[in-house]
Structure 1
Amino acid sequence: MSDRKCWVDHSGIVLDSVDGFDVIHCESCGFKHIIPIPDEEEMTRIYTRQFHAEYKPLMIQHQLEDQQWYDATNKARLEAIEKQLKRKGTLLDVGSGTGFFLNEAVKQGWEAKGVEPSDMAVEYSRSKGLDVEHAFFDQECAESIGKFDVVHLWEVLEHLPDPAGMVNLCRQVLNPGGLIVIGVPNDYNKLQKILVNDMGEKPWWLTPPHHINFFDRTSLERLLRRLDFEPLRHDITFPMELFLLMGKNYLQEPELGRECHAMRMELELNLLRTGNSAVLDKLYDSLAEAGFGRHTVIMAGKKD
């Protein structure tokens, strides 16, 4: 039987242990996360200077190499948001990174602003003329930044000591009828479990303290409902684990990672640029129904 552990107000069955951290399925939070949870001071140190400089030093280079794909997929996401909102409007990108999504939003006619703690990412974004607040999105920032029709968070909640607190801050800055759009890694999914339990891989998605929380569609929707949002749409991104099952083991041969990513980009670009986005949507809807996908993406409406 698996061990059950408690830490402060968090308790649950231990799923994995790595580098001095345990991953529990937390009974009070309703989602999986590590314990102990790093404090705010540690997070500030990591994400102000360390993250892009040390852990993702080639991020901007790779994004520039892949810009056609970023532009196309960001445009598709913005079109889905506009369809749900029924218009363009004001958009806040929390954790805007190097600004590729923010830039596409501006190109598509949105009034868009970013919030980003990383020195390097803010410098790059501002060099492109983007409106980016150099800050963590905290209570002080939320009170000063204004109101928006859409708040977008991509690969943000998995890094935070208090994801519920972040969603509440987003609710605070949303206009009535506004939307929150959240994309998080879909970890502990069925394909990952096959690779670990049946094929002997280690759970490679565990990278504490950088990834604190682990969501899937059910746990993310549960969190949003608890915080007075109504989930309206669910999407996924390409299940990269398929490449591992096809023998392209980018975990053991990291140079294969870019090769696999290039194949995924080619699939999506070929369908998008030929006007067959509906085919891509149908493919991904089928994968989402099965619980597959590297990211789970939820669009939810603010309850007034």
Structure 2
Amino acid sequence: MSDKKDWNGHEGSVLHSVNDFDVIDCELCGFKHIIPIPSEDELREIYKHDYHVKEKSFMLEHQLEDREWLDSINDARLETLENILGKAGSFLDIGSGNGFLLSQAKKRGWTVKGIEPSDKAAEYSISQGLDVECCVFDQDCANRLNKFDVIHLGDVMEHVPFPSATLSLCNQVLRPGGLIAIGVPNEYTPVQKILNKDMDVRPWWIAPPHHINYFDKESLEGLLSRHDFTPCHSEVSFPMELFLLMGKNHLDDPKLGRDCHAMRKQLELNLTKSGNRAFLNKLYGCFAEAGMGRTLLVIAQKK
């Protein structure tokens, strides 16, 4: 598709259309997103009651199965933040989910707080002794918070209707020189385009209304730079779409998807536990150079 569409001043070429939503490469925002954009009230209801019950009903079960691997991933992320910041300080996790990153940060000496809109996920986190507030990160929430050394948003920015407004609130509660770490799905990658355009695989990464925004490294760093943050680190995770190229079509097969995930998980654990995390980082750096990687993490410093 190449037609242009305009919705409330958001204009851009239409890349895909799914379930009455269009994904446009928005000239106003500098990143790809769906139109129409759902209202905040609609999204609040989705994430407070439905998301972890219907859309992510097995999330906690899978995370408990993956605990060793998750702790390894979270340790590496926290170590990167500590190296850049120079210490383990105060840590705010927006969209803290079931609290696994917060638990690991607390063990490493961080002072932690979580904001989580899902009542089910927040309840589990609180049961684990974590300081988690069940609410949406909005102006009222930001006004109640203290200042933090690090703000983390993992798998959040693809869901929010107005990413610029979210970053402005983050700026409000982040100390000068503090760090913001944003993890998002890495979308419209070269491999995704090959699979969709050349091999007729459906565009599985498009998931409205839950996924509103679609970022890559350039568009996410550009957004951060426009909000007075200086990007200082980026990394990607294993490109799961490689399994599709190898004939393992897990898109509609949850069991096969878990099997593929287990292979990726074992690769990372083997290299980490054998003391070769640096080699793993180098390998994933090569994926990043090729524009690949299922998820993208960008860390930026407040000016």
TM over 0.5: yes
Amino acid at match of 1:100: F
Q: Distance in 1 between matches of 2:254 and 2:118?
A: 25
> What is the aligned partner in structure 2 of residue 223 from structure 1?
223
Q: Distance in 1 between matches of 2:123 and 2:267?
A: 32
Query: Does the residue aligned with 1:233 lie in a helix, a strand or coil?
Result: strand
Task: Indicate yes or no: 2:130 matched with 1:130.
Answer: yes
Q: Distance in 2 between matches of 1:118 and 1:17?
A: 28
Query: Does the residue aligned with 1:13 lie in a helix, a strand or coil?
Result: strand
Amino acid at match of 1:126: I
> What is the aligned partner in structure 1 of residue 106 from structure 2?
106
> What is the aligned partner in structure 2 of residue 302 from structure 1?
302
> Which structure 2 residues correspond to residues 55-134 of structure 1 after superposition, within 5 A?
55-134=55-134
Task: Indicate yes or no: 2:45 matched with 1:50.
Answer: no
> Which structure 2 residues correspond to residues 283-294 of structure 1 after superposition, within 5 A?
283-294=283-294
> What is the aligned partner in structure 2 of residue 20 from structure 1?
20
> Which structure 2 residues correspond to residues 207-222 of structure 1 after superposition, within 5 A?
207-222=207-222
Q: Distance in 1 between matches of 2:107 and 2:244?
A: 36
Query: Does the residue aligned with 2:61 lie in a helix, a strand or coil?
Result: helix
Query: Does the residue aligned with 1:14 lie in a helix, a strand or coil?
Result: strand
Deviation beyond 6 Å, 4+ runs, structure 1? none
CA shift, 1:230, in A, is 0.3
Amino acid at match of 2:298: I
Q: Distance in 1 between matches of 2:264 and 2:53?
A: 26
CA shift, 1:176, in A, is 1.2
Task: Indicate yes or no: 2:183 matched with 1:151.
Answer: no
Query: Does the residue aligned with 2:158 lie in a helix, a strand or coil?
Result: helix
Q: Distance in 2 between matches of 1:181 and 1:56?
A: 23
> What is the aligned partner in structure 2 of residue 275 from structure 1?
275
Q: Distance in 1 between matches of 2:119 and 2:215?
A: 28
CA shift, 1:133, in A, is 1.1
CA shift, 1:112, in A, is 0.8
> What is the aligned partner in structure 2 of residue 265 from structure 1?
265
Taking structure 1 as the reference length, the TM-score comes to 0.98
Q: Distance in 1 between matches of 2:245 and 2:134?
A: 41
CA shift, 1:252, in A, is 3.8
> What is the aligned partner in structure 2 of residue 161 from structure 1?
161
CA shift, 1:253, in A, is 2.7
Query: Does the residue aligned with 1:165 lie in a helix, a strand or coil?
Result: helix
CA shift, 1:145, in A, is 1.1
Query: Does the residue aligned with 1:248 lie in a helix, a strand or coil?
Result: coil
Query: Does the residue aligned with 2:301 lie in a helix, a strand or coil?
Result: strand
CA shift, 1:289, in A, is 1.1
Number of residue pairs matched? 303
What is the Cα-based RMSD across aligned positions, in Å? 0.8
CA deviation profile, 1:173-226 (whole Å, cap 9, x unmatched): 011110000000001111101110111101001111000000000000000000
> What is the aligned partner in structure 1 of residue 178 from structure 2?
178
> What is the aligned partner in structure 1 of residue 192 from structure 2?
192
Q: Distance in 2 between matches of 1:105 and 1:65?
A: 20
Q: Distance in 1 between matches of 2:35 and 2:73?
A: 35
Which shifted more, 280-289 or 89-98? 280-289
Amino acid at match of 2:97: G
Q: Distance in 2 between matches of 1:157 and 1:218?
A: 15
CA deviation profile, 1:241-273 (whole Å, cap 9, x unmatched): 011111111014332100000000000001111
Query: Does the residue aligned with 1:109 lie in a helix, a strand or coil?
Result: coil
Gaps (5+ residues) in structure 2?
Answer: none
Q: Distance in 2 between matches of 1:213 and 1:79?
A: 28
> What is the aligned partner in structure 2 of residue 243 from structure 1?
243
Taking structure 2 as the reference length, the TM-score comes to 0.99
Query: Does the residue aligned with 2:71 lie in a helix, a strand or coil?
Result: helix
Q: Distance in 2 between matches of 1:133 and 1:253?
A: 35
